[in-house]
Structure 1
Amino acid sequence: MNKSTFFSGQPIFAQLLRFIPRDIIRRIAADHHADKYCKRFNTYEHLVTMLYAIFNHCNSLREVTTGMLATEQRLNHLGVRYHPRRSTISDANNRRQADVFGAIYYRLYQKYSDFLSDSRKKSIASRLYIFDSTTISLFQEILRTSGKNPAGKRKGGIKVHTLIRSDQDIPCMIRYSAAAANDSQFLKEVHLPKGSIIVFDRGYADYIKLNSFSTSGVTWITRKRSRSAYDVLQELDNPHKDKGVIGDKSILLGYRGGNRLLGRIVQYKSPTTGEVYEFLTNNMRMSALTITELYRKRWQIEILFKRMKQNYPLKYFLGDSENAIKLQIWCSLIADLILKIIKKGIAAKWSFANLAAMIRLHLMTYIDIRGFLKSPEKALQQKLSTKQITPSQQLLFFT
């Protein structure tokens, strides 16, 4: 193969793995004793194997092992010492704690969060947090599902409670529960700096926590539940009647004799559908129209959930235990973080789905990722007789 500015001595997968410093993994593995009594398949090799399965959309252990066996001569580029067997991967998914991969994800988030948020731009998005959950169906009742028993065998479900910062578009907090668990208990684990704004749906109704948000200077915005009771304290000025705001009131939320919550209700009528929405908040200074626009940004987290389910294998899991399922979700989040870094660092505009598909198709191709993503056809066709890109240069494209 001719050398060129586009062809590289490292496959694309190896270039992606450079965003995960090995010393971070070694340190976390040592803190969690993840490699204790482990002779061959250590934490780093386990992570690389899972990322290979995720990037390649592998739905079974056989697909993972045969795919890696077909490229066994390239495994040393990835830092993997040998081709793992199905039983080895299965045992590791059940034995090695998923919290290890969670710690790796949070450490990588800390490392790249400033780059993803572009801290030079101070906007409301840097203070806006969105909290929601999504349910991932399982084919076995490993974690208890919600709702009534369906016809036939009951399936399982895991609920992923997620907090994101709007300008980063990646999770900064993740919690897992059975699908039947109540959402409101996880709002207690959210701690935000003063001046933050948090948006969540009506399922997270916890007046004690909402009062603590108000005390700590955090603005919260949610929708009113159908059975929520409140007393109107005052009608507020409404200069946005012509823009759909039909009501703006100061209220005392909750039943008399129980926990009461001082807040505000904004009633908004959609000009297109005619449907009326009622938003609750503790912020008395923002305009009613701003409140409605901030709640509309909650759909950003729904786009994140859609992106995760469409681009990563979260329908079939490489293990039938709770630990294996959580582990695979953590590795999917790590893969998503890496692709977000790649997407932000390249000049060309790619949709996330196209970027993920291109990485999947050329995961083990020896080609420089910068030139490839700038112009894939040119990178694959044009062969210029110049020196190769060094590994240190391959990391410069996102800085």
Structure 2
Amino acid sequence: MDKFTRKTSFEQWLSPISNNLLEEQVKNYQLNYYTKKLHMTSFLKLLLYAQLHETESLRALSDCVFSEELQNATQLDSISFSQLGRRLNLVPTEFFQTIFLDLVKQIHRKTDFQARRKTTTPLKIIDSSTLPLNLNNHKWAKFRKTKSGVKLHLRLVFMEKGHSYPDQSVLTNANEHDRGQLEILVDDKECMYVFDRGYLDYERFDRMTDEGYFFVSRLRKNAVVRSLETLSLPEDSSVLSDEMVVIGTTQNRSENVFRLIKVWDTKGNELHLLTNRFDLSADEIAELYKSRWAIELFFKWMKQHLNIKKFFGQSEQAVHNQVYIAMIVYCLNVLAQRNTKSKRSYLQISRYLKAALWKPEHIWLRKIGGNTVP
């Protein structure tokens, strides 16, 4: 009898998604009203399955329901691709966003995020990446004569040993400027924010400093800077210079004094780093900025291994929904790693899951929970 009640690896993987939260959101948005067949729980499982297997279209996903195991998991014996398309276009993006944010809270707990805030300043990295779209199918997202696209503005929590995870995001059309999103993505005075030149906004930097937010950003080389004081550096420092400055022209100058640190990058280019943090050494600030590579790796990983190369729907809502499903998959992999204390990479966890998808959960858990990495 036990073999019929045991969880599959697929069910174990998606178990962090709260059934109570799911039911609450379904009720709030009335998503199962007048629904005879494709209920939201089944639909969510199908979308997660499609992400795992990088299914290329809703028609292909419809054909996958031929699988007896997928039928058992979704309680569906068949579903048309047109029904899937209508559902994807109608479900509010806030539904998937709420699930994503709840998984982020669970990751916070698993990584002792609140406890770490008492002993150190958590590092959060902000950046954006454009996801290209077909102009003929997505005219609402046009940003150049021949291109369409959406922009994912993301905040990433950076942890020790190179681990990181997203904890906030905003989706806009690709023509939206990055710096307008700082108001949303900077909201915690106990964190240190790292971002690139796309977020330069002198007025905003003044407000952040006045309100008690700390940041380090890259400054354009042609920025107008007036040096007030040159700070001394230790003999073994890799930093070129460390100065106290005001930025901007006479007509539009910062009200606060900032710190300008010049360093070499790995390619031998000179970087100008701006920060309002004066209690750390120049080398420590430079190291903080180097952490920004983590978000570049995240975007690269996401585009290579999650199903956002080709979008299932043509509407803005359908595209946004698919992006959030991709981030839900990423968070589920993070939680699988943290819950099992696995040393496997997220990619390995995902590969083993696909290989053991309908097998009993202990087979997958035992494999990813091993102490050796092949």
Aligned to 2:239: 245
Contact preservation (8 Å) 1:132, 1:162:
yes
User: In structure 2, how many angstroms separate the alpha carbons of the residues matched to 1:46 and 1:200?
Assistant: 36
SS in 1 for 2:274: strand
Q: State how far apart, in whole Å, the 1-side matches of 2:289 and 2:227 are.
A: 22
Out of 277, 284, 292, the residue aligned to residue 286 of structure 2 is 292
Matched, 1:13 2:10: yes
The amino acid across from 1:180 in the alignment is: N
Q: Using the alignment, how far apart are the partners of 2:302 and 2:213 within structure 1?
A: 29
Say whether the 8 Å CA contact 1:267–1:277 is kept in structure 2. Answer: yes
User: Using the alignment, how far apart are the partners of 1:343 and 1:309 within structure 2?
Assistant: 20
Partner of 1:87 in structure 2? 82
Which shows bigger deviation, 49-58 or 365-374? 365-374
Shift of 1:54: 0.4
Q: Does 1:354 align with 2:351?
A: no
2:16 maps to 1:22: no
2: CA distance between counterparts of 1:123 and 1:355? 31
- Unmatched 5+ residue regions in structure 2? none
Decide whether aligned partners of structure 1 residues 238 and 35 sit closer, same or farther in structure 2, where only a CA change above 3 A counts.
same
The answer on whether the counterparts of 1:62 and 1:86 sit within 8 Å (CA) in structure 2 is: yes
8 Å CA contact 1:268–1:277 kept in 2: the answer is: yes
Structure 1 window deviating more from structure 2 (348-357 vs 337-346): it is 348-357
> 1:215 maps to what in 2?
210
Name which of structure 1's ranges 207-216 and 311-320 shifts more when overlaid on structure 2.
207-216
Three-state SS of the structure 1 residue aligned to 2:246 is strand
Label 1:19 to 1:292 Cα distance change in 2 as closer, same or farther (>3 A).
same
Equivalenced residues, count: 364
8 Å CA contact 1:34–1:100 kept in 2: the answer is no
Q: How do 1:1-399 residues align onto structure 2 when only pairs under 5 Å count?
A: 9-71=6-68, 74-76=70-72, 78-117=73-112, 121=116, 127-140=122-135, 142=138, 143-146=140-143, 149=145, 154-167=146-159, 169-240=164-235, 242-262=236-256, 263-270=258-265, 273-368=267-362, 369-374=364-369
Are 1:130 and 1:301, in contact at CA under 8 Å, matched by a contact in 2? yes
Letter in 2 for 1:70: S
Report how far residue 145 of structure 1 moved.
Answer: 4.8
**Does the CA-based 8 Å contact 1:125-1:165 persist in structure 2?**
no
Query: 1:218-275: per-residue Cα shift (whole Å, max 9, x none)?
Result: 21101111332121111122225x43212111111112122524311101135x6432
Name the stretch that deviates more: 55-64 or 122-131: 122-131
Q: CA RMSD, aligned part only?
A: 2.6
- Rate the CA distance shift 1:347–1:193 in 2: closer, same or farther, 3 A: closer
User: Relative to structure 2, which stretch is displaced further, 172-181 or 356-365?
Assistant: 356-365
Q: For the residues of structure 2 that align with 1:125 and 1:352, how far apart are their CA atoms?
A: 26
Identity level (%): 23
How far is the alpha carbon of 1:299 from its aligned partner? 0.8
SS state at 2:37 partner: coil
After superposition, the Cα gap between the structure-2 partners of 1:107 and 1:346, relative to the gap in structure 1 and judged at 3 Å, is closer
Distance in 2 (alpha carbons) for counterparts of 1:269 and 1:372: 43
The 1:98–1:195 alpha-carbon spacing in structure 2 relative to 1, beyond 3 Å, is closer
Per the TM alignment, residue 52 of structure 1 is displaced from its structure 2 partner at its CA by: 0.8
- The residue type paired with residue 75 of structure 1 is Q
Distance 1:39 1:201, change over 3 A: same
Structure 1 pair 253/118, CA: closer, same or farther in 2 (3 Å)?
A: closer
Q: For 1:332, what is the secondary structure of its paired residue?
A: helix
Please say which of residues 56-65 and 341-350 is displaced more in the overlay: 341-350
Bigger CA drift: 37-46 or 221-230?
A: 37-46
Distance in 1 (alpha carbons) for counterparts of 2:61 and 2:107 = 29
Offset, 1:128: 0.9
Q: CA deviation at 1:99?
A: 1.7
> Residue by residue, what CA displacement relative to the aligned partner does 1:193-218 show, whole Å, maximum 9, x if unpaired?
32321000000012222222212222
Kept in 2: contact 1:199–1:220 (CA 8 A)? yes
Measured after TM superposition, the shift of residue 286 of structure 1 is 1.4
Q: 1:352 to 1:207 in 2, by over 3 A?
A: same
Residue deviations 1:86-141 (CA, integer Å, cap 9, x gap):
11101101111122111111122223321134655568875211100011111235
The Cα offsets for residues 322-379 of structure 1, whole Å up to 9 and x where unpaired, read as 1111101111111111111111222442122222122123222345232233469xxx
Task: Return the alpha-carbon distance in structure 1 between the equivalents of residues 342 and 237 of structure 2.
Answer: 37
- Structure number with greater CO (CA < 8 Å, separation at least 6) is 1
- Paired with 1:56 and 1:123, the residues of 2 have a C-alpha distance of 41
Structure 1 CA distance for aligned equivalents of residues 370 and 272 of structure 2: 48
Counterparts of 2:169 and 2:31, CA distance in 1: 21
Distance 1:307 1:126 in 2: 26
1:8/1:366 contact within 8 Å kept? no
Aligned-partner SS, 1:245: coil
When structure 1 is superposed on structure 2, of 258-267 and 202-211 the one drifting more is 258-267
